[in-house]
Amino acid sequence: MKGRTRLRGVRGAGLAGLVLVLAAACTGQDGGSSQTAGEGQDAVDVRISPEDGAGEVAPNVPVTVEAADAAITDVRVEQTGGAADESGQGAGQSASPSDGDDSPVHEVTGTLSEDESTWVSDWNLAPGSDVTVTATVETSDGEQAEVASEFSTEPAVEGKRLELQSNFPTSGQSVGVGMPVIVNFDLPVENKVQVENSMEVTSEQPVDGAWNWFGDTTAVFRPKEYWEPYQHVTVDLRLAGVEASEGVYGIENHQLNFDVGREQISTIEDSEHTMTVERDGESIKSFPISNGRADVRKYTTTSGVHLTMEKYDHLVMDSSTTGIPVDSPEGYKLDVDYAVRFSNSGEFTHAAPWNGRLGQSNESHGCTNMSNADAKWFYEESLMGDPLVINGTDRQLEVDNGWGYWQRSWEDWLANSPTGEADTTDGEGTPGGVHAEEA
């Protein structure tokens, strides 16, 4: 989709002052509506597909407008109803609310051919909606004429409605420079290319990035390198009408807006039992720590590039959550303060006032122990998505352990993207198509 000229439509806008169509529509051989615009020698044929009056149109069929011997100057697509309205899930009630019905994520934009004779929609249509397509063309003598087509799309069947289950980050958050975009769906996705191409990430400072999938319900976008700090990022999830698998359609669009904050990268050298924190390229703090005692693998702190995931001012740590009964010789149940999670295998930084070996040896069950003051500082100064790099242990962080996505090289990350192409976050579209015929 990148590199083509776009003619963007505006939902529901008026067309005052344009010359109206002067002839009735007829059905073309390809199922489109062929109409005549203008009169006499200046009359031109304009074909809109899907055809006027059609019903049960698949929502992932592209809208096309073709004009013979005329220039297309405007195409507007208006949708009413839709699966989201039917289910009572309007914008603002979802896990990641869009910015209301007037958000650009709801526009059905299109790509105009170089000779301005053909327009094709960029995105799919909402299932179960009534659609009006209005095209404006300019004839050879400079007059304008308008043609229209009205049709309805196939509704999404109960149990086959792809919905956004959750996402990280959420709108309004400020995050660290390592933060990926994580999208969790409620149903498995088989047509990953179309879904991937329906999700567009735009940043103020464009970079190359790509999506990877972890299972069939989780898609993760990360840039080639860490985000530049102090910028805004928008994610348009144009899921309405995309066919996730046979007969399963997305029902609603969403827009996600977040900010990348300062660059804070923390590094732990296991052999030195020390953490160093750098902010915007300058070292601002260093303090003693104690990692996992490493007598067995499960008590070995993982090495690699971690991200801070969530934090608690108070947390009960229960060994039974990692498969070790509390009443066993190795069991524990501890109340800890200032806990910051950095994996899904039970690893946190936290205060450990009982550990008298900070800066000297590794004594924990895998967490990073700190003094109360240092743990409080790290807790207060951490944002979700801050990189935490741990060096020197013999247990490597897995790419799917928490948010270990930076453990995969960029070459491998790109190779694991179903599209196989980098997506530049410049707002100029995604690498490929979203329609059924572009699968």
**What tens digit of pLDDT does each residue of 335-388 get?**
999 999 999 999 999 999 999 999 999 999 999 999 999 999 999 999 999 999
Q: Reply yes or no on whether 367 is catalytic.
A: yes
Q: Reply yes or no on whether 350 is catalytic.
A: yes
For domain 6-152, give the fold: Immunoglobulin-like (2.60.40)
Q: Could you confirm whether domain 264-410 is CATH 3.40.640.10?
A: no
Choosing from 273, 306, 350, 435, the catalytic residue is: 350
- Tell me, what amino acid is at 305? V
**What tens digit of pLDDT does each residue of 52-70 get?**
999 999 999 999 999 988 9
For the domain with range 161-262+415-438, which CATH number is right: 3.20.20.70, 2.60.40.3710, 3.40.640.10, 3.40.228.10?
A: 2.60.40.3710
Alpha carbons 270 and 361: distance in angstroms, whole number: 9
pLDDT at 30 over 50: no
Choosing from 254, 273, 367, 435, the catalytic residue is: 367
Over residues 6-29, mean pLDDT:
34
How confident is residue 31, by pLDDT bands cut at 50, 70 and 90?
Answer: low
Helix (H) or strand (E) holding 33: strand 33-37
CB-count exposure of residue 197 (10 Å: 0-12, 13-18, 19+): buried
Alpha carbons 255 and 120: distance in angstroms, whole number: 23
Domain boundaries along the sequence of the chain: 6-152, 161-262+415-438, 264-410
Same-fold call for 161-262+415-438 versus 264-410: no
**What tens digit of pLDDT does each residue of 382-407 get?**
999 999 999 999 999 999 999 999 99
* Residue 329 near residue 312 (C-beta atoms within 8 A): no
